A and B are shown apart, each in its own frame.
Chain A
């Protein structure tokens, strides 16, 4: 312990290195595991995950493009890309300004797509969002609507990216807004749903719920179906915001609802799957599935496809399932085990059902199943890390 003078300077250095290592190791192992955001248009699926966004032609079994050209470890993408008329829009979680700069730069990107490639960006805005982009964007012909975690809904010119107007809520917006006949419907974690006149930016109505809304509402006919953490599915009149009915769930309703065959389908994070009448909210059927239902069910030709994920046990060993059910009565048609929780909403291409997973190794995995038989047709792991 009583060391010679030559070695006197060593202990502080060692202690600080150890402390530094301990500190960095501890602080960087945050319990944040990014699951993929998934969209499908035709035979192409668009995936936002970890360090990039990519498009995959599922029928041709090939990756079409990847953004950025060089993966950037400082970037994280989560919000599912929004695609309309070959215009692809997405945002990121923000890039730290570096060790000496506490500011984060959050970017919103708009690209034009051509047959097999992503062209040069139409625009990139790095100066209008201060916090993460969690919500997928909504697009009209000439405007892009995107919510931010800094409590704002931004309306951007689709061609230039110029900010046309903005609307502030009381908390983050994680839900994809809905644009319908000149009205924009916005749900926020502040427990409220807002209807805005896009032309005048007037607030037409505001509906207060008892819980946060983390995923986008679904519009059908004259009703807006809103999932909420208050353990209910709410049906609001789109003209007035008045609640027509609220149907119970067993736990938080996180994923968006799906409409089909006159029923509204939704799941909760305790694995309950419900089908209620779209007009009255009356329960049609209820089934308990294994694991949590965190995403929207998918309705295709009288069948319902639901992703589930285990939430208990060793995190690395948790698995998930893709389950196909008869939408009329909830009977299970087929089920497929997935190697990781299925927390991203399944999407449909012409022939297939596609799910995206975050593997235990932090990689993206796309699984493509036959709609009818549930047979796994393609298992694709692009080189894109969390």
Chain B
């Protein structure tokens, strides 16, 4: 299953690209990376937006936590009311997690395509689709400047780039507000928001882990990761820039309207009620009038 749906298509795609791109395997990996990013773009966009929506709702979430900190069940109920589910909280990690099967598949595909050993070459013959004339493509040129794409980078350039671009990509994906950064510095972050704490740990741990792993990656795989991270970072940046100013302000923690707990909860509930945070912030005054009317109804029942 893994071989048929992951490895074999990757192997054949790399071979086709290698043939089309003047037998330059480096270019083949670059175009392959862009294609993979395009294929996963809809999912990435959806998840990035979901994550940003979660960031928008952080003030509301914090208020609920403060208020119901000693009553987890009630806190969970309130969170669900405003549309905060465990799945939504982890949404930002998913694009990254999705990269892992691709990375592992690519690791194996590059190993096979470069045919570094007789065993890999023999295995390759069994995986190539009949429309590809492997004989004409061999031997695959595995050199690119100082790099042997089938071997780790001996000068540590790619591992450093892997760590740096992963950090940049993560940082932009989960970009935090100035207020939140202040809180981080004061150590408030984890106490008040364990999920945000986890995200900030991920921002450090993931680049380190990937950088260390890249020490033993074939250079071709490291290059894929670097390019993929750069594209991911650019994508995050573009999404942010394409947002209306009001949403950006809210993400930056500067919305003056966020005051009483109940108001926040209600506002968040309104914004998450199958509408985007963006639309909600645009219609802030309408939301507040609805809240007022709800309060009046409550009073009249009493």
Residues of A within 8 A of B (CB): 1-5, 8-9, 11-12, 15-16, 19-20, 22-23, 26-27, 29-35, 78, 93, 96, 99-104, 131-132, 134, 149, 171-172, 174, 189-191, 210-212, 214, 229-231, 252, 254, 269, 294, 311-312, 343
Contact = CB atoms under 8 A, between A and B. Distances in A.
Given A33-B119, A102-B153, 13 more contacts: A15-B198, A19-B209, A29-B108, A30-B107, A31-B120, A32-B117, A32-B120, A99-B215, A101-B215, A102-B154, A134-B117, A212-B138, A252-B125
Contact of A30 (B108, B194, B209): B108
A2 B135 contact: no
A272 to B, nearest CB: 15
Given A1-B86, A3-B194, A12-B198, A214 B153 contact: no
Interface string B137-173: 0110100000010011110100100000000000000
Given A5-B191, A27-B104, A229 B152 contact: no
A171 B150 CA distance: 13
Given A12-B202, A102-B216, A27 B120 contact: no
Contacts of B216: 96, 99, 102
Contact of B116 (A5, A16, A26, A149): A149
B72 interface: yes
A171 to B, nearest CB: 4
A329 B65 CA distance: 87
A211 B138 contact: yes
A13 to B, nearest CB: 9
A375 B270 CA distance: 83
Given A2-B75, A23-B104, A294-B122, A230 B86 contact: no
B245 interface: no
Interface in B80-134: 86, 89, 93, 97, 100-101, 103-104, 107-108, 111-112, 116-123, 125-126
Interface of B: 3, 7, 65, 72, 75-76, 79, 86, 89, 93, 97, 100-101, 103-104, 107-108, 111-112, 116-123, 125-126, 135, 138-139, 141, 148, 151-154, 156, 159, 190-191, 194, 197-198, 201-202, 205, 209, 212-213, 215-216
B201 A12 contact: yes
Contact of A2 (B76, B116, B154): B76
Contacts of B120: 30-32
A90 to B, nearest CB: 15
- What secondary structure prevails in chain A residues at the interface with B? loop
A20 B156 CA distance: 21
B119 A32 contact: yes
B215 A100 contact: yes
Given A172-B139, A294-B122, A12 B215 contact: no
A1 B139 contact: no
Given A3-B194, A12-B198, A99-B212, A31 B123 contact: yes
Contacts of A132: 116-117
Contacts of B111: 30-32
B151 to A, nearest CB: 7
A176 B190 CA distance: 63
B204 to A, nearest CB: 10
Interface centre among B86, B117, B152, B156 (most CB of A within 10 A): B117
Nearest to A5: B191
A8 B197 contact: yes
Contacts of B153: 102
Given A27-B107, A33-B119, A212-B138, A8 B213 contact: no
A216 to B, nearest CB: 13
Contacts of B154: 102-103
22 contacts: A1-B89, A2-B65, A2-B75, A2-B76, A3-B72, A5-B194, A8-B197, A15-B93, A16-B209, A23-B100, A29-B108, A32-B111, A100-B212, A102-B216, A131-B151, A134-B117, A149-B116, A172-B139, A189-B138, A212-B139, A269-B125, A343-B122
B100 A19 contact: yes
A31 B117 contact: no
B88 to A, nearest CB: 10
A12 B86 contact: no
B118 A1 contact: no
Contacts of B197: 8
A230 B152 contact: no
A211 B107 CA distance: 26
A189 B216 CA distance: 26
B221 to A, nearest CB: 9
A98 to B, nearest CB: 9
Contacts of A8: 190, 194, 197-198
A192 to B, nearest CB: 11
Contacts of A31: 3, 7, 108, 111-112, 119-120, 123
Given A8-B197, A102-B156, A102-B216, A35 B119 contact: yes
Nearest to A35: B119
Contacts of A210: 135
A230 B209 contact: no
Contact of A229 (B117, B138, B201): B138
B151 A174 contact: no
A231 B135 contact: yes
A189 B139 contact: yes
Contact of A174 (B79, B118, B205, B213): B118
B65 A78 contact: no
A12 B205 contact: yes
B197 to A, nearest CB: 6
B213 A23 contact: yes
A1 B202 contact: no
